[in-house]
Chains A and B, each alone.
Chain A
Amino acid sequence: MSAQHPLTTPLIKENPLALRVLGLCPALAITNSMTSALVMSAALTVVLVISNSTVSLVRNLLPSSVRLIVQITVIASAVTVIDQFLKAFLPDTAARLSVYVALIITNCIVLGRAEGCAMKENVGTSILDALGNGAGYSMILVAVAFQRELVGKGSLMGYQVFDPVSQGGWFPENALVTLAPSAFFIIGVLVWVIRTWKRDQCEKPDFEPIPLPRREKR
């Protein structure tokens, strides 16, 4: 396996969320339940595969002046089709995800991979890259959702694991964890853990602090 395998590199080494901090908006919004996170992950991965493979197929035909427009049109169409499918076959989850499925269009990961990988690589590599990035993104979403749903509601995938206090049980639900900011904290901790393990992911400081002028002794 080469150092830059398209399927495995985006998992930890170049995770779209943890390293590039892309696609943060849905990661905050929909990770309060495992079901939403899983459906969102699947939707994003499918969109990535469709957009990467399509863009890679036509990459040699695209005039560079309009390539972004074509990429966005392909992505927007894929997202609309997926959204329609979700509304038809998973109406409850689609209602909970509300606008966030449609907002995959603006998810930087999709356009980023179309422009960064699919415009350069062949179809096979592009599809592997899409699957890898989808999996890398999904991993973080599911990890965050697991903690938020368990601590916030005492349930997983909608099944009550712990008996919450509000229904006469013992488990104190943590309302803070069900709110969006908690996803920020959890993602922050995840990024810190990954960067402690993989030191090369740490960014170099933008500038060296200027040393204070030393006062001369008289």
Chain B
Amino acid sequence: MAKDSPIRALLTILVTAVVCSFFVSASVVLLRPIQLNNKLLERSGNVLALTGLLPAGREVSDDQLLDLFKSLDARVVDIDAVELDSEFDPYTFDARKASTNPEFSVPVPAAEDIASLGRRSSYETIYLVWKDDRLERVVLPIRGAGMWSMLYGYIALESDFNTIAGMMIYEQNETPGLGDQITKPHWQAKWVGKKLFDDTDEVLFRVAEGPVHAGASGAEYQVDALTGATITANAVTAMIKYWFGPNGYGPLLERMREQGVRKAADGAAQEG
């Protein structure tokens, strides 16, 4: 067969395609479990960092991290129905995927869409931290549009569902050196102890325009500004206002505050 005949060209392409797809598929299939485990580990680390359960200043092995994470009381909450439980498994439910699925998500009307979400999942995985039988903290996922891309993070509240116990952003693409200060521990540490709501349940929390002086009026609802990152700072404020307002976790937190929460393990025991 001549080297440049069309048949030979076709055969060459066919063989190349089959051989190459074999290698690509093999690598994807064989490495998938490790990649999924990495994702779970990452999520465990992010959530646990806010629970106060991690021993300070000590490295925790991956297995310990996963064990600790699985011991958390995780719930997939229904935000729109204001329900603390739903049929989803908290360890496999992916709210990010759900937010693009019309079956599990709702469009956010433009007037309410201060965090530029477009659509929001009706369900989110939250984590309750119990100490013996007392609720210590609750860790809630938050997301919203930053300057360049979506910001993804978690916020932990004390058992009054108002005082911030911690905040972290685990995915962002803000300007290096300016907007990406939101990921810096020293800035996130300033959130601890601040309050989200005033007495009338309105979200007052915001990133201030300058440094916050302790004792100034409203200081308990504000954290220091980010130098040179006004848009990112405003995005963070909008994100908090949306997620803890009436269209986000607001009604759910109110319900938890009024009716209390039961530990999942106890509920299961009663049913059984």
Contact = CB atoms under 8 A, between A and B. Distances in A.
Interface string A147-190: 00000110000000000001100000111001100000000000
A4 interface: no
A63 B24 contact: no
**Most central of A66, A74, A153 by chain B CB within 10 Å:** A66
Given A63-B9, A64-B4, A175 B27 contact: no
Contacts of B8: 63
A64 B12 CA distance: 11
A65 interface: yes
Given A81-B24, A175-B176, A87 B35 contact: yes
Contacts of B12: 61-63, 66, 70
A88 B178 contact: no
30 contacts: A61-B12, A63-B4, A63-B8, A63-B9, A65-B4, A65-B9, A66-B12, A66-B13, A69-B16, A70-B16, A73-B17, A77-B20, A77-B21, A80-B28, A81-B23, A81-B24, A84-B31, A85-B27, A87-B35, A88-B34, A89-B34, A91-B38, A91-B39, A152-B176, A166-B184, A166-B186, A174-B177, A175-B176, A179-B175, A179-B177
Given A73-B20, A88-B35, A89-B34, 11 more contacts: A66-B12, A66-B13, A84-B27, A84-B31, A87-B35, A88-B34, A152-B177, A166-B184, A167-B186, A174-B177, A179-B176
B3 interface: yes
Interface string B1-25: 0011100110011001100110110
Nearest to A66: B9
B80 interface: no
A152 B177 CA distance: 8
A15 interface: no
Where chain A touches its partner, the secondary structure class is: helix
B178 A175 contact: yes
Contacts of B23: 77, 81
A32 interface: yes
A155 B34 CA distance: 30
B47 to A, nearest CB: 17
Contacts of A153: 177
A85 B176 contact: no
Nearest to A77: B20
Interface in A104-147: none
B73 interface: no
Nearest first, the 3 closest Cβ-Cβ pairs linking A and B are A175-B177, A77-B20, A178-B176
Contacts of B228: 175
B177 A85 contact: no
Given A63-B9, A175-B228, A178-B176, A81 B38 contact: no
Interface string B150-189: 0000000000000000000000000111100100101000
A146 B31 CA distance: 32
B94 interface: no
A173 B177 contact: yes
Given A152-B177, A178-B176, A70 B13 contact: yes
Contact of A91 (B3, B35, B175, B184): B35
Nearest to A33: B176
B210 to A, nearest CB: 16
A69 B186 CA distance: 51
B113 interface: no
A118 B126 CA distance: 54
Nearest to B3: A63
Nearest to B181: A166
Contact of A87 (B38, B177, B184, B186): B38
A174 B8 CA distance: 58
Contact of B38 (A62, A65, A73, A88): A88
A69 B184 CA distance: 46
A91 B44 CA distance: 14
B42 interface: yes
A94 B142 CA distance: 23
Nearest to B187: A166
Interface string B227-261: 01000000000000000000000000000000000
